[in-house]
Each structure stands twice: as C-alpha cells, then as structure tokens.
Structure 1
Amino acid sequence: MHQQPAVPFSYADVGATAGEFPPGYDHFRLRRRIGSGRDLFEQAGEQIRVYRMQRGTGIFQQATTPVAEPGTELTVRLGLGPLGIEAPCRVVYVLDEPNRRGFAYGTLPGHPESGEELFAVEYDPTDDAVYALVSAFSRPATWYVRLTAPAVRLIQRWFATRYINTLRPH
C-alpha cells in the first residue's frame, strides 16, 4: 500500500528549539521550578508526553498517537468560542534524556503562526529541583496574526504559564 507523503512543516528551521533559535522569529522561553525530586521529574515527563500541558489548558483537540513521538500529528484549538481556530502541528522530536523529558512540535500549513514550540521538564541533580520549560520561536503566518501580533505574544506568554501550572503537584 502506498503511503501519502507527510505535509511539510510551514517553516524551514525544523528542530531549532533543540539549540540556537533562528533569526527572523519572536523568541520565547519560560522556565519555572515546579518542585523537587526524581519522582516528580518522572511523573511530569510522562504527563508531557501524553499532552497534559495541552489538555490541561483546554486547547487539545486530537493526536494521531496516544503518546507524543516524532511524526505524531496533533491539532490544538486556539481562540475563544466561535472565534476558535484549529491549528495543526507535528511532533518534531522527543526528549528522553536522564535529566530532560518532553517534546517539540512544529506548525503545519493552516496554523495561524509559523514556528516551533518545546514542552519539557528538567531535573537538576545538584539540588533535586524540577523545572518545567516552554520555549518557542514563531512568527505570524496569517494576516490576522500579523495585525494582532503584540496581543498574540502576550497570549503566548500567558499560555506558557498555564502549561507549566498543569504540571505542578496539587
């Protein structure tokens, strides 16, 4: 059976959240301590891989795999009520390191922005601290995002805080 080729990402710098962010985009990083202990790190890493950050903020729509893996396609819904927009993404890579877990997804055609976002948790063995991290590079892909870019950046930062709060122990 012949498989359809994947739709290409809507930006050229695929995988760049793993290193130096490329020029020509808005860059964003938020890293917050969520607690301590290896158990919290392991739990948070698992939660990220099953889209807890997206589910916990109410934007998750669907994914082609139950656990994030390279090539997984997922859709999030951005906006409020009838003004919401379906935003397609694809997982670029997964972090599965001794002290870092998470994944990054990139935008696909139809997403109102163009770029990549990383959702991760980090463990610092020197003091047992656990940090949640959201980082991204993006730029408007539609006229309406270009028109409202300053507000969109504020919303992105607000969402990053909400993403991180989904991992905090209760």
Structure 2
Amino acid sequence: MTVRLLSPRRAAELRARPWTYPEVGQSRGDIPDGYKTFRRAAALPAGISFDTAADDLLTWRVQRSAGLRVTASEARVEPDTVVELGLGPFVTAPCRVVYVIDEPARRGFAYGTLPGHPERGEEAFVLDRREDGVITFTVTAFSRPASLLAKLAGPLGGLAQNAMTTRYLRTFDR
C-alpha cells in the first residue's frame, strides 16, 4: 500500500477547513479534560535504527501498516500537511499535521481532526531514543465523537481505537 497524493485543489480545500477542536497542539503536554484519552508505548525491537524508524514514521508507514488508506498532500510528513485516512469503503477521516518533532533523539508528529472526521481531537506519534539506545514508540491521543456513527458506536468506538493503536505500535515488529 502506497501513499497517494492529494490534488493541489483538494489539499487547499482541506487546509482551508477549521480544526474541529480548540485545544490544537495539546498532545505535546497536558491532555485537555473532556476527552477520551490514552497514551501507549512500546519499545522497538533491537536492530532497528532510529533514523530508519523515523523515516518510516514520517512517510506514513505507521498508518499504512495499520491498514489505513493514506492520501496526503505530501509523501513525507511536514507541518501543515493534510491527509485523508481511509478505513473500509465508507470511512474517510481528514486531518492536518499540527506539529512535527525533529530533534536528535526525538522524532514524530501529531495530526488533528478536520470537519468530516468521525472524531474530534488529536493523535501524536513519537519516537524517543534513550541514552541506552532503546527506541520507544509512543502514541498519544485525545478525542470525542463528532459524527452520529461515532456516537452510536459508544464503547465499541473505544475498542476500535485500541485495536488501531495496537496495530500502530506493531508497525516496527519485523
């Protein structure tokens, strides 16, 4: 599965949409109240280089490995990149990159939801390289239902999000 590129017109349309939540960027620190939240982490298997893992992360491999269709304005994650994530034939979730982390021992990004996404909120994907060389991959999110379908899903929505996060965290298991 590869990343398809959005047309310039579609990318501009998505960039013009407002965020669907006011706490843009808060996946970096204190998670706001009033949302379903989680933070899960896994150590990457030994032998995977930090640069290779970061390259995989920043080229949408995590989302593609989890089974999502990725149609983005850029093949590589950059600030303000817009993306439509597809799951099955009927669900399309538009998002925009909120921030990108590019530090010597820390790389990652977060995207936030745009109108048309079934949820409201933000999700961050971050790789950290510790001094002992262990690389940790952390997924942090806060969200609440935005669509009738997401509201009707109730607890099943949380189970689906947990299953997707497990898929994300297994991306680097080779």
Write the distance in 2 (CA, Å) between the matches of 1:154 and 1:41. 30
Runs of 4+ residues over 4 Å off in structure 1:
none
Write the distance in 2 (CA, Å) between the matches of 1:160 and 1:61. 16
SS in 2 for 1:70: coil
Write the distance in 1 (CA, Å) between the matches of 2:166 and 2:137. 10
| 1:9-28 pair list within 5 angstroms | 9-28=19-38
* Residue among 109, 122, 125 paired with 1:119: 125
Corresponding position: 1:99 with 2:105: yes
| 1:16-165 pair list within 5 angstroms | 16-36=26-46, 40-78=49-87, 80=88, 82=89, 84-125=90-131, 127-165=132-170
Letter in 2 for 1:7: R
Identify unmatched segments of 5+ residues in structure 1.
Answer: none
Q: Give the number of aligned pairs.
A: 162
Write the distance in 2 (CA, Å) between the matches of 1:40 and 1:155. 30
Contact 2:45 2:172 in 1 (8 A): no
Letter in 2 for 1:32: A
Identify unmatched segments of 5+ residues in structure 2.
Answer: 1-11
Contact 2:60 2:70 in 1 (8 A): no
